[in-house]
Amino acid sequence: MIPSKTQSVSDCPETGFVPASEETPACAPVTAAPPRSTPAGGVLDIGALQARLRRFADERDWAPYQTPKNLAMAMVVEAAELVEIFQWMTPEASTRIAEQPEVQQHLGEEIADVLLYLVQIADHSGIDIGAAVHRKIGMNAIKHPPLRRAEAGADQPSAT
């Protein structure tokens, strides 16, 4: 069974989803994005998200399919869908996504899909995402030290 992009769990307010209607207990996506200065829900609690995703999979009997390999393959498919949004855009157009609410919403959905799979991969692999992120930022700081002011105009490689 493949999850539907419109399905959600019952605690919709926490997810940025709202009840679709009084007659329909299912949830529908919120159409208006919150302002950038006030992120929805504030800080993302990775542990709570992992527990919620486990519960979501358990309720659908997906646990046998939730292997790191399968999750990684699914994440790559979602990452390709994210890249597809930008496929024929110019670099300049890609910086103006906020001016296109439908494209921005679609991009947010694909980013969420990728993030959800990453969170599940970490959970099923016993990786503490917070510790891994902080460790990697530290490694990148050593690998890519800050430029002196005179060098600041030069192109910099992306952090990896």
Residue 119's CATH number = 1.10.287.1080
Predicted pLDDT of residue 41: 55
| 101 located within any domain | yes
| 133 located within any domain | yes
The model's pTM: 0.68
Predicted pLDDT of residue 125: 97
Predicted pLDDT of residue 28: 42
Predicted pLDDT of residue 54: 96
| 59 located within any domain | yes
| 115 located within any domain | yes
| 123 located within any domain | yes
Residues of the chain with pLDDT under 70: 1-41, 150-160
| 82/94 Cα distance (integer angstroms) | 12
| 157 located within any domain | no
Predicted pLDDT of residue 153: 61
| 23 located within any domain | no
Domain that holds residue 85: 46-143
Domain count, the chain: 1
| 69 located within any domain | yes
